[in-house]
Amino acid sequence: MKHVMPLVIVLCAVGCKPPAEAAAAAGKKPELVAVAPVKVQTAEVTHQLMPTSLTLTGTVMADKQSEVAANVMGVVRSVHVERGSPVKAGQVLAVVDSRGAALQAAAAAAQSQASQTQSALASRDCERVEKLHTDGTISRADYDRLKTQCTAQMQNAAAALANADLAKKLAGDTVIRAPISGIVGERYINVGEYVQLPTRVASIYNINPARVSMSVPEPAVGLVKVGQTIKFEVSSWPGRQFEGTVRFMSPVLRPNTRDLIVEASAVNDDNALRPGMFAMSHLVISEEDQPTVPAGAILTDGTTKRMFLARNGQAFELVVRTGVQKDGRVAVMEPLAPGDKVILAPPPGLHDGSSIQ
């Protein structure tokens, strides 16, 4: 028994080795498992003229907006809009009790008619006074007194007519209408409230087209011109790119920030752009010959963008900086040669050095 135990231990030490170690101990090479190449589609890198842009931050604004005031005094009888209601210019927003204004208009009209009658009489008096003065029948003092009286009566008639027109206007203002077409942003009044001349009734925003206000730093002011194209994104619509045209430029720089305010106009048929949105804008300033790849070749991981080149039957991973996108192709800010092949829609699991077919 003393001689058997060591032999068992030796046999176990040899027999319990892994296959690879056992093969090595026996002088044989371990077999390697073959990995099948990954099938991919490729496209060539091409050079073409791509727009170069100046990146600016901006804010989406309404093309027009109005804070509608009551311009009349009285009790609100009805309100015809809510927040988000589309309205046309001239559409009724609210109606204020018109009975008091109507009575005032009627009284002013009657007063105006009476004054017109007195004015006609005063005009004839003035004609007679002129004739009497020409004939020398009355003194200069009497002439001045009578002339002043008839002139004052005619002026009173004119004032009464103006008051009648004003009363008529105020009666018409009891129907409050939209001054512009757009969308109601806020409704400030309710039925039964008493409104006065400065009382706000509603806010209206015309957001098609939308405006994008951008801040241009002083060193870049010379690159900006009316008519240039901007492309911009907003966080509310990730992946969607909007386009606009520079329409307005301030004539002066703001002294505190040394920047120039520029506004662009953008079509907003679906109302996707809302005033107050933050916009990351790219102002197109020129065109340069740049290497481009299909947009589907770019992988985005947070702020990192990657793509794979096909070289000698292997995938070569490359972290890249990208420029603008045009006609389905993206400018790549890396020194790529025409004819380089890029892998389209890299499949999951593809990594640097993977065999490809």
Task: Please tell me the distance from the alpha carbon of residue 149 to that of residue 350, in angstroms, as a whole number.
Answer: 104
If DSSP codes are grouped into helix, strand and coil, which group holds residue 17?
Answer: coil
**Dihedral over alpha carbons 139, 145, 147, 148 (to 10 degrees):** 160
Pair 41, 344: CB distance under 8 Å: yes
Q: Does 260 map to a domain?
A: no
Rounded to the nearest integer, the mean pLDDT of the chain is: 80
Q: Which domain holds residue 150?
A: 99-172
Q: Does 305 map to a domain?
A: no
| Out of 80-84, 258-262, 326-330, least confident range | 326-330
pLDDT at position 102 is 56
Confidence of residue 182 (pLDDT cuts 50, 70, 90): very high
Which range has highest mean pLDDT (69-83, 176-190, 280-294, 298-312)? Answer: 176-190
pLDDT at position 264 is 94
If DSSP codes are grouped into helix, strand and coil, which group holds residue 10?
Answer: helix
Q: Does 327 map to a domain?
A: no
Q: Which helix (H) or strand (E) holds 4?
A: helix 4-15
* Res. 268: pLDDT tops 80: yes
Residue pLDDT, tens place only, 201-242: 999 999 999 999 999 999 888 888 899 888 899 999 988 889
* Res. 169: pLDDT tops 90: no
pTM above threshold 0.75: no
b/e burial code for range 4-36 (CB count within 10 A of at least 16 → b): eeeeeeeeeeeeeeeeeeeeeeeeeeeeeeeee
Residue pLDDT, tens place only, 95-124: 888 665 555 656 656 665 656 666 666 666
* Res. 356: pLDDT tops 80: yes
Q: Does 236 map to a domain?
A: no
Confidence of residue 324 (pLDDT cuts 50, 70, 90): confident
Task: Please tell me the distance from the alpha carbon of residue 290 to that of residue 326, in angstroms, as a whole number.
Answer: 12
Number of structural domains the chain divides into: 1
pLDDT at position 320 is 87
| Percentage of the chain exceeding pLDDT 90 | 28
- The sign of the CA dihedral 149, 153, 154, 159 is positive
If DSSP codes are grouped into helix, strand and coil, which group holds residue 190?
Answer: coil
pLDDT at position 66 is 93
Q: Does 24 map to a domain?
A: no
Q: Does 245 map to a domain?
A: no
Q: Does 288 map to a domain?
A: no
| Out of 27-31, 48-52, 60-64, least confident range | 27-31
Q: Does 154 map to a domain?
A: yes
